Structure formats: structure tokens, C-alpha cells
Amino acid sequence: MAKGMKACTWIMRLFQLFFAIILVGVLSYMIHQFHRYGLPVPRELIVPEVFSVLAIVVTGFSILSVFFLSYTLQLVAALFDLTMFAGYLASAILLRHNYRIWISPLRTILSYPPGPLGPPHHIARNTGLVRLLVGLTVIQTVLFLNTTILSLFIAKDTEKKKELEEKRGHATA
């Protein structure tokens, strides 16, 4: 059962890594668009960007912790997962006004920028990018919650195996 949990956690962590990389790209593009239009960058882009960059680093560490690290470092990975879960949950809450795409403030600002930039442009691209941003943020929230729980189970299982080995070692001595 432990090997199945480890494999499941490892696969989830790979998805977390891939989705975090995609989110960094999408959010960087959106932030660039806001700078291009001379508009202040909203919090609903800054917070997920920060947590997506952190997720790349944390997930890299956590991928190693699944198979190679000790009980204590697996607990540290679970703590990092819990922190990332909280960050993505905050990001999902900040993006709550963008769940219905046709009244999405991000889509509206990116597609119809104020000022002398001419007619609206990139409406379809911006609509898709806002949908991708919202969807991946919610998915990352769920993935980090699941890996937090699985990491705790794996750490507990690792500790049990260590205790059994110690008992066997004392019994043979």
C-alpha cells in the first residue's frame, strides 16, 4: 500500500510541477500585458504568480522526499505542501470574480484596455488564458491538499517501518 501511495504522490507532484510552470508563463504574460497598458497589476495575478514560482521549488524538493528522504524531511515536505495549499486557496479566493468568464474583470481589462491602444484585441486568447488561470489555480489547490494528506501518511508509514526494523534489530541482538 505504501508503494501505491508513493507512486500516486509522485504522479501528483509531477502534475503540480507542470501546472506551476504553465501558470508562471500565463501569469507572466498577463502581468506583461498590464505593464504594457500602463495599468497597475492586480493582486489576483501577483499572489498566484508568487505561489507558482514557489511551487516549482517546493515540488522539486517534494519529489525527492517521496522516495529518498527521511521521516523528518517528509514531514517538512508535508508542511510545504500545506503552505502551498493555503497560498493557492488564497489565489482561488482572489480569482473568485473570474469564475464566470463573460463577466470576468481580468478578461475585460485585458481585452478592452483603456487608453489610446485602438480597438479590442486578443479577446479569444485572453478569454482562454483567464479560464486556464482559474482552472489551474483550483486544480493546484486540490492537488496540494491531496499531497499534504498523502505525505503525512507516507511519513507515518516510513516511521512505522523504521520502528519495526529497530525492533527486529533488538530481537536478533
List pLDDT tens digits, range 114-170: 666 555 566 667 778 888 999 999 999 999 999 999 988 888 887 787 777 777 776
Radius of gyration (C-alpha) of the chain in whole angstroms: 21
Q: Characterise 38 by phi-psi region: left (phi > 0), alpha (psi -120 to 50), beta (else).
A: left
Question: Residue 124 has what pLDDT?
Answer: 64
Distance between CA atoms of 169 and 173, rounded to whole angstroms?
Answer: 6
Q: Is 32 exposed, middle or buried (0-12, 13-18, 19+ CB in 10 A)?
A: exposed
pLDDT above 70 covers what percent of the chain? Answer: 86
Question: Residue 114 has what pLDDT?
Answer: 66
Cell 491538499 belongs to residue: 145
| More confident call, 49 vs 38 | 49
Q: What is the pTM of this model?
A: 0.85
